Amino acid sequence: MSSDLPAPGRCVVVGVLNVTPDSFSDGGRYVDMAAALAHAHEMWARGADIIDVGGESTRPGAARVDPETEIARVLPVIRALSADGLRLSVDTTRAVVAEAALDAGARIINDVSGGLADPGMAKVAAGAGAPWVLMHWRGHSKDMNSLANYQDVVAEVRAELSARVDAALSAGVAAEHIVIDPGLGFAKRAEHDWALLHHLDSLVELGFPVLVGASRKRFLGRLLSGADDAPRPPSGREDATVAISTLAAAAGAWGVRVHSVGASLDAVAVVAAWQRGHE
């Protein structure tokens, strides 16, 4: 496994840092540079293995921003955090943003499009020798809900992710630099998300590290709907997120991507001790 992909002896915990005004859970909270840096250091001090910095919202229905805006949002934060020694990934679908972020000190590319949004991303990942998270994706946020059509979601996601892996390998990306992500909530309805989690072993069997990003997502809000059938808001989905982290770790996930790292870190530490039978 790549030296830039941590292997702490338990499921890796990736802390989300959205420097955006419109992300679904924490949009606007970390647009201010000081707030962004403070939150990243808080997650790092708590034990996060990677801080994932994103400058464009990928919530359902979100409008795109131009590359210059995305770069202006993420680069100052990445430079400052890299100088402080934090391990960073950049959450972007654009090759130009990924290249600038790697030059600024990011070490991992987290591409929710799996390389489909920008054909140049494979060249950047291969040229930099950077680990590349390939997420299952069928289209941009504005249109993705209409693309949630499957006959067998587990088989189709596995096949489509395998195709993205093959394309990355053909472009010169090293096998040890590839991570796969089922893309929960991206062109998927709740029943698709639950099926993918139930059959997570189908993706683990592909032999690449699997990253699970369920934190505070819509399918959890729907599960936890109140008596009025209104989905529970993102702020009330943290306990459910920790449950997903626990079960994902037990099912063999390499990592979980979460907004609040503390409880998920405790959860995956418990899973690792349970599996070992000792501390």
Catalytic site residue 257?
yes
- At residue 217's C-alpha, the angle toward residues 215 and 220, to 5°, is 100
Give Cα separations from 210 to 39, 135, 213, 257, 273 (angstroms). 25, 10, 10, 11, 20
Q: Which of 200, 193, 198, 199 has the alpha carbon at shortest distance from 218?
A: 193
- Give strand ranges (E) for 148-262: 178-181, 211-212, 255-258
* Choice among 94, 138, 237, 257 that is catalytic: 257
Q: By three-state DSSP, how is residue 79 classified? A: helix
Catalytic site residue 188?
no
* Choice among 217, 222, 232, 237 that is catalytic: 217
Q: By three-state DSSP, how is residue 132 classified? A: strand
Catalytic residues: 217, 257
